[in-house]
């Protein structure tokens, strides 16, 4: 890739490789939700935009870049024919402006180096290795081997691969709020999916069990992460998916 480099992710069967083990009942919002954590990690690591599309809707494109704080921001584009470019390009549906002509995709960027390609491959291989963990506890012990956003995606996908309750995920990856909050929602939801029927689970256990060592470097200590986890748990409580047992402890509804 040269000056017009971008990172492109195609959504096939799941966010990574099209794993056939994931139920066909899993909603598109879940699939894209996991993929967005990959995209968020990439825009923090590289200077190029990230373009995401799905196999079922290849003309609908999500275009992501990093904001001033390094977090992901984006918009939806459509693949339409550009007279000036003489080919199909990602185009703003409201302004009808071609993203190549406007400079969003054509502005000069550093060339993708071989070492960076190897880094991408290493992340993907490590993700596959972590997802092969023999148990949920083993996965939690290895989560710090992955960057924070990729660890979030791994916990979410592991739960989908090993549990038959995808309805717990329905709609939650698309909620607003900070990416820490959205990450907490995915990780808490994955924890609940792996919980046994009638098993009690505590807020503090989930918070400490999912706390990632890199969060401290980003200004999120365990107490603040516990707050995000508490909000995610409350989202499930309001959705009647869990019920309180006693203060700080819950079970599946």
**53 lies in a domain?**
yes
**178 lies in a domain?**
yes
**103 lies in a domain?**
no
Whether 122 and 234 map to the same domain: the answer is yes
Whether 123 and 71 map to the same domain: the answer is no
Whether 146 and 207 map to the same domain: the answer is yes
Q: What is the pLDDT of residue 196?
A: 83
- Look at residues 24, 57, 91 and tell me which one is the last residue of a structural domain: 91
- Look at residues 91, 107, 126 and tell me which one is the last residue of a structural domain: 91
* Residue 177 lies in domain: 116-252
Number of domains in the chain: 2
**222 lies in a domain?**
yes
Whether 86 and 203 map to the same domain: the answer is no
CA dist., res. 136 & res. 144, Å (int):
14
**26 lies in a domain?**
yes
Whether 183 and 229 map to the same domain: the answer is yes
Whether 122 and 201 map to the same domain: the answer is yes
Whether 245 and 129 map to the same domain: the answer is yes
Whether 135 and 63 map to the same domain: the answer is no
In order along the chain (253 residues), what is the average pLDDT of each group of 10 residues? 42 36 38 71 82 74 80 84 91 87 73 78 90 92 92 89 72 67 91 87 94 92 96 91 92 87
Residue identified by tokens 């079922």 is 56
Can you say whether the dihedral through the CA atoms of 58, 37, 178, 98 is positive or negative? negative
Q: What is the pLDDT of residue 51?
A: 81
Whether 158 and 65 map to the same domain: the answer is no
Q: What is the pLDDT of residue 24?
A: 38
DSSP per residue, the chain? --TT--EEEEESSSSSS--TTS-TTS-HHHHHHHHHHHHHHHHHH-SS-EEEEETTEEEEEEEEEE-TTS-EEEEEEEEEEETTTTEEEEE-TTT--BTTTTTTTTS--PPPPHHHHHHHHHHHHHHHHHHT-SSHHHHHHHGGGS-HHHHHHHHHHHHHHH-S-GGGGTTGGG--S-HHHHHHHHHHHHHHHHSPTT--EEHHHHHHHH--GGGGGGT--HHHHHHHHHHHHHHHHHTTSEEEEETTEEEE-
- Look at residues 91, 108, 133 and tell me which one is the last residue of a structural domain: 91
Whether 244 and 176 map to the same domain: the answer is yes
**69 lies in a domain?**
yes
Whether 219 and 129 map to the same domain: the answer is yes
- Report the length, in residues, of the chain: 253
φ and ψ at residue 23, rounded to 5 degrees: -60, 145
CA dist., res. 156 & res. 228, Å (int):
16
**138 lies in a domain?**
yes
Q: What is the pLDDT of residue 34?
A: 67
Q: For the chain, state the CA radius of gyration.
A: 19
Q: What is the pLDDT of residue 26?
A: 37
Q: What is the pLDDT of residue 174?
A: 55
Whether 77 and 163 map to the same domain: the answer is no
């Amino acid at each position: 890739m040269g000056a017009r480099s971008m990172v492109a992710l195609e959504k096939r069967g799941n966010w990574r490789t099209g794993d056939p083990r994931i139920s066909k009942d899993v909603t598109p919002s879940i699939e894209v939700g996991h993929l967005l954590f990959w995209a968020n990690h990439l825009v923090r690591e590289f200077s190029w935009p990230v373009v995401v599309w799905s196999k079922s809707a290849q003309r609908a494109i999500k275009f992501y870049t990093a904001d001033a704080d390094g977090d992901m921001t984006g918009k939806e584009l459509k693949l339409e024919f550009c007279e000036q470019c003489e080919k199909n390009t990602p185009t703003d549906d409201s302004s009808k402006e071609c993203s190549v002509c406007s400079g969003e995709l054509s502005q000069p960027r550093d060339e993708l180096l071989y070492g960076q390609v190897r880094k991408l491959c290493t992340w993907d291989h490590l993700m596959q290795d972590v997802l092969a963990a023999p148990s949920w506890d083993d996965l939690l012990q290895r989560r710090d081997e992955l960057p924070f956003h990729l660890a979030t995606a791994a916990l979410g996908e592991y739960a989908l691969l090993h549990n038959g309750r995808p309805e717990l995920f329905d709609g939650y990856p698309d909620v607003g709020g900070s990416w820490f909050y959205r990450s907490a929602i995915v990780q808490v939801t994955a924890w609940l999916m792996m919980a046994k029927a009638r098993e009690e689970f505590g807020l503090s256990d989930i918070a400490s069990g999912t706390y990632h060592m890199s969060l401290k470097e980003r200004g999120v200590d365990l107490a603040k992460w516990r707050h995000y986890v508490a909000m995610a748990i409350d989202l499930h409580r309001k959705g009647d998916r869990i019920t309180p047992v006693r203060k700080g402890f819950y079970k599946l509804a």
